[in-house]
A and B are shown apart, each in its own frame.
Chain A
């Protein structure tokens, strides 16, 4: 069997895409478990009675999600490692980069710097909830970002997109300067700011034309 043939046989047997997906999923599971439990002996066992009910219902992207939340767990941790909503990124984990921006009752906040227990009974909006749940149609901000190609590596994109989503609600007709201020809580290390601002202006334009 020459080399080309063997490759095609293998591809038949394990679709390359499925295989890669499998590896990524396994890797993610392993690393997230490590993230949560590494080096913290206190986490394994409950060492004292806590005043907080751990099994809570969170309203995330319009859905009621039952989840077991530690008293000292941040919302970013719950979203990423308990609910599988990895669209919300953790950049600095210090309220200094904006990658974890989510909407709490429609207002942008940093998910890395709040406890999940602080948002019980409030609605949490993440990047996963922006598209239309039934049709899969993208939100105006997402469309604007695709049209204008705003990001390079795009690690910061979910945070920026959430901030833009709030911006067009608060100020549907911003100037470029106002958009700069509205997005000043998000950093882009590729320094694509100019194109990101163009996305912001375009999303406001699209929102007005809807």
Chain B
């Protein structure tokens, strides 16, 4: 556990009122500026002196970044919308319940009141070696402490590793992949829209980042297309405590059925890799089936193909297999 030290080291605080001003500030302080949303990831870094930005851009005053809107094709959620608002929103609860479920499983009421959807998907990994300031690969060093023979790696990854074995901690990330959400990332050049599964990146692409966003980029809104509205959803998160904890493994799934058969599925698992994993192969496997027991078993086995546990986390392999099995079984 982190030691309590006096105060956060000094930084310059900017509180822009518009997205354009925020983008300009990020451009001006390129590489030095820190984007502050709910602050629940940020302040830990600052207090521990592990990250010491000279400028902090607080997005709290930008009203265009909050709220849930109906748009032509589905709904659009501002990146600064609080998780509580998403959890309680009628449209989200009725049409995209998997996202409301995921938001409800984040930490505690206070954290959901303060934490935002944009912050939840952009937060950094919770690998304690990295967060404690150890000079690991992700921090620019040349070793991974979590994969060392004596390492405590019960909560680390079982697949998708590339030097780094940390996992993505976001509860909403797999739900956004399940509903095929589009992430709108703005920079001074204009917006780029990423599919949710491409928004999260692994260490093989860039070991210093969890998402496609670079320091001058801003996630402004998340578009959830109507295509997956009112599908059959499944969400489950397993954690050590009944509340307030990050996932060990979580699964989010969406199924479209017709005459008792799965027409199309989207299944995503988090907590097993440095990024939320979309299980394309499993989705194809369950297509055309009724989600019966034998399909569910096969889906579970397929999901864990290639899993390589570390010393203390082989339980995650069984957990992932069983969660995928349960998700598929929920259809029948």
Residues of A within 8 A of B (CB): 35-40, 42-43, 47-52, 70-74, 77, 90, 92-96, 98, 101, 107-110, 112-115, 117-118, 163, 166, 181-182, 184-186
B243 at the A interface (CB under 8 A): yes
B interface size (C-beta, 8 A): 35
Query: B residues within 8 A CB of A92?
Result: 4
Q: A36-B6, A110-B110 are in contact. List 5 more A-B contacts (CB 8 A).
A: A40-B6, A73-B7, A73-B8, A114-B114, A185-B108
Using a CB–CB distance below 8 Å, which chain B residues touch chain A?
1-2, 4-15, 36, 39-40, 43-44, 46-47, 56, 58, 60, 84, 107-111, 113-114, 242-244
Whether the pair B39, A163 counts as a contact (CB closer than 8 A) is no
Is A48 a contact partner of B108 (Cβ separation < 8 A)? no
Residues of A within 8 A of B15 (CB): 51-52, 117
Query: Nearest Cβ in chain B — how far from A192, in angstroms?
Result: 17
Residues of B within 8 A of A98 (CB): 108, 110
Q: Using A113-B40, A181-B243 as known contacts, say yes or no to A118 and B60 having CB atoms under 8 A apart.
A: yes
A43 adjacent to B7 (CB under 8 Å): yes
State whether A42 touches B9 (Cβ < 8 A).
yes
Bound complex: CA of A37 vs CA of B47, how far in Å? 15
Q: In the complex, are the beta carbons of B5 and A163 less than 8 A apart?
A: no
Among the listed A42, A51, A108, A113, which residue makes an inter-chain contact with B43, where contact means beta carbons less than 8 Å apart? A113
Residues of A within 8 A of B243 (CB): 181, 184-185
Residue of A nearest to B60 (CB): A118
Q: Are A93 and B107 in contact (CB under 8 A)?
A: no
Residues of B within 8 A of A109 (CB): 110, 113-114
Residues on A with beta carbons closer than 8 Å to the beta carbon of B36: 115
Report A-chain residues with C-beta under 8 Å of the C-beta of B7: 36, 40, 43, 70, 72-74, 77
Q: A50-B12, A109-B114 are in contact. Are A35 and B6 (CB under 8 A)?
A: yes
Using A110-B110, A184-B243, A185-B110 as known contacts, say yes or no to A115 and B39 having CB atoms under 8 A apart: yes
8 shortest A-B CB distances, which residue pairs?
A: A185-B108, A71-B13, A184-B243, A185-B110, A72-B8, A42-B10, A109-B114, A52-B13
Kindly list chain A residues whose C-beta atoms are within 8 Å of the C-beta of B39: 113-115, 118
Interchain CB contact under 8 A, B6 and A48: no
- CA A94 to CA B1, docked complex, whole Å: 10
Residues in A with CB closer than 8 Å to B84 are 107
Min CB–CB distance B6 → chain A (angstroms): 5
User: In the complex the two chains form, what is the Cα distance from A39 to B4 in whole Å?
Assistant: 13
